[in-house]
Amino acid sequence: MNMPQDSPKTINQTYVLFILVLVYTFNFIDRQIIGILAVPIKADLGLSDTELGLMGGLAFALFYTGLGIPIAMAADRFSRTWIMTAALTIWSAMTAVSGLANNFWQLFAARLGVGVGEAGGVAPAYSLITDFFPPTHRARALSIYSFGIPIGSAIGIVFGGVIASMLDWRVAFFIVGIAGIVLAPIFRLTIKEPPRGGFDRVRKDTSPAGLKTILQTLFHKPSFWIISLGASSSSMMGYGLFFWLPSFFVRSFEMTLLNASLYYGAVLLVGGIAGIWAGGWLGDRFGQMHRSRYITIPAIAFLATVPFYVIAILSKSMVLTFTVLLVPTALGLVWLGPVISVIQHLVPPNMRATASAVFLFINNLIGIGIGTLAIGFLSDTLALQYGDDSLRYSILAGTSFYIVAAALFFLAAKWIEQDWEG
């Protein structure tokens, strides 16, 4: 990525983005490692798919979404770097605590704690990146930041699978949790706060805005709400797949836990990075000419995922499933850079962290809280008819969420121009 020449001299954009990606990587390692560890946890603690879905989805989402808004309001007022440091420490510590659980409710409580910490990790980072990079580079910068999703998910799945196979699933939680705690002071000591709104062409009030004012601003932005619902629909399938595909590989293809982790880790890493980068590049390339394309390009990508998922999930060949899965994995993540960039432009600089948190509240409460649970519940329902293959058909039904997401994004594109700020 070519860094802008007009950036503040005191800011090393490359380093800042690298550290933010690293923190986001740990965010998703801690968040997604539960997906591969679900296999030994299910066997060790005797859990149902519904209980696994509650633990991997709702347990995390409850506090992650609920605390996101008040923490983001604090980020619009106080040091974003301090808030992210505290968040990283908390979610890492609770990941380590997850390794001490002996029953469903103990693990449920620990995952609640992970959600409490991660509530302060993302919205402040979006706001920081917006102040580190000018508008012409934001979609790509936010896309690079979003590399933390596939990298962290892949590392979490592969590392979790290796450690669980060689040692124990509890050890995997201990190691990644302690590593995040070590990273926290490094982040705080090396990342400094940038001026708010420094790159915006139209300088607006940078004093903190109240929640009522922010919600009133968003109320008059129909694109914000439609985009949020569209992203939520896609996340129901996206987060559901992150959590359930390792179990699908083990059950339907009779793979070992280690092989399932390696296969799916490779899919996430290659397909995820390709899709996120493509979304950022396409957003900056075409969105500058027609702002609606920030939304229509992801909508087209969502529609394109469906036939590839149908082929991959119904296939009885592991080689074919792996190869085909690369395509929809990439297409399903195209939206991240462009859409997050749009969210930053729907409000003034002093509202961005909170607006991002409202977006994340809707996206994650529905996407994480419902998607993972819905696929698990449907799998349990279909188990009497399909046995170990029930998860195959449950995942297949989830592809309909991408069709809903595409329809909502096409609808939102009609309001982008009138809702745009700056």
User: How does residue 411 score in pLDDT terms, banded at 50, 70 and 90?
Assistant: very high
Predicted local confidence at residue 2, as pLDDT: 43
**pLDDT mean over 156-170:** 81
Lowest mean pLDDT among 29-38, 178-187, 321-330, 387-396: 29-38
Per-residue pLDDT of 228-259, as tens digits, reads 999 999 998 888 887 788 888 888 888 887 88
Average pLDDT score over the chain: 83
Predicted local confidence at residue 201, as pLDDT: 58
Give the list of residues 6+ apart from residue 278 with CB closer than 8 angstroms, or none. Answer: 330, 334
In a domain, 307, yes or no: yes
What tokens were used for 417? 């121009």
Q: Helix, strand or coil for residue 279? A: helix
**pLDDT mean over 32-37:** 77
Predicted local confidence at residue 253, as pLDDT: 84
What tokens were used for 251? 């059950």
What tokens were used for 43? 């066997």
User: How does residue 4 score in pLDDT terms, banded at 50, 70 and 90?
Assistant: very low
Contact between 343 and 217 under an 8 Å Cβ cutoff? The reply is: no
In a domain, 127, yes or no: yes
Q: Per-residue DSSP letters for 38-53?
A: HHHHHHHHT--HHHHH
Q: What is the dihedral of CA 50, 51, 56, 62, to 10 degrees?
A: 100
In a domain, 2, yes or no: no
Per-residue pLDDT of 84-93, as tens digits, reads 999 999 999 9
In a domain, 3, yes or no: no
**pLDDT mean over 408-417:** 92
In a domain, 370, yes or no: yes
Instruction: Quote the domain boundaries for residue 297.
Output: 14-196+208-419
In a domain, 400, yes or no: yes
Question: What is the rounded CA–CA span in Å between residue 124 and residue 270?
Answer: 27
Predicted local confidence at residue 250, as pLDDT: 83
Say yes or no to pLDDT of 1 above 70. no
Question: What is the rounded CA–CA span in Å between residue 227 and residue 412?
Answer: 6
Q: What is the DSSP code (8-state) at residue 334?
A: T
Per-residue pLDDT of 66-124, as tens digits, reads 787 888 888 878 888 899 999 999 999 999 999 898 888 898 888 888 888 888 888 78
Question: What is the rounded CA–CA span in Å between residue 374 and residue 317?
Answer: 26
Question: What is the rounded CA–CA span in Å between residue 148 and residue 27?
Answer: 8
Share of the chain above pLDDT 90, in %: 22
Q: How far apart are the first and last CA of the chain?
A: 23
Contact between 304 and 402 under an 8 Å Cβ cutoff? The reply is: no
Output the pTM of the full model. 0.74
Say yes or no to pLDDT of 15 above 50. yes
In a domain, 1, yes or no: no
Phi, psi of 113 (to 5 degrees): -65, -40
Say yes or no to pLDDT of 289 above 80. no
Predicted local confidence at residue 284, as pLDDT: 75
Predicted local confidence at residue 206, as pLDDT: 57
User: How does residue 7 score in pLDDT terms, banded at 50, 70 and 90?
Assistant: very low
Question: What is the rounded CA–CA span in Å between residue 80 and residue 84?
Answer: 6
Query: How many domains would you assign to the chain?
Result: 1
What tokens were used for 191? 């990342």
User: How does residue 363 score in pLDDT terms, banded at 50, 70 and 90?
Assistant: confident
Residue 112's identity, in one-letter code, is L
> What CATH number is associated with residue 390?
1.20.1250.20
Predicted local confidence at residue 90, as pLDDT: 93
Residue 210's identity, in one-letter code, is G
User: How does residue 36 score in pLDDT terms, banded at 50, 70 and 90?
Assistant: confident
Contact between 236 and 401 under an 8 Å Cβ cutoff? The reply is: yes
In a domain, 81, yes or no: yes
Predicted local confidence at residue 168, as pLDDT: 84
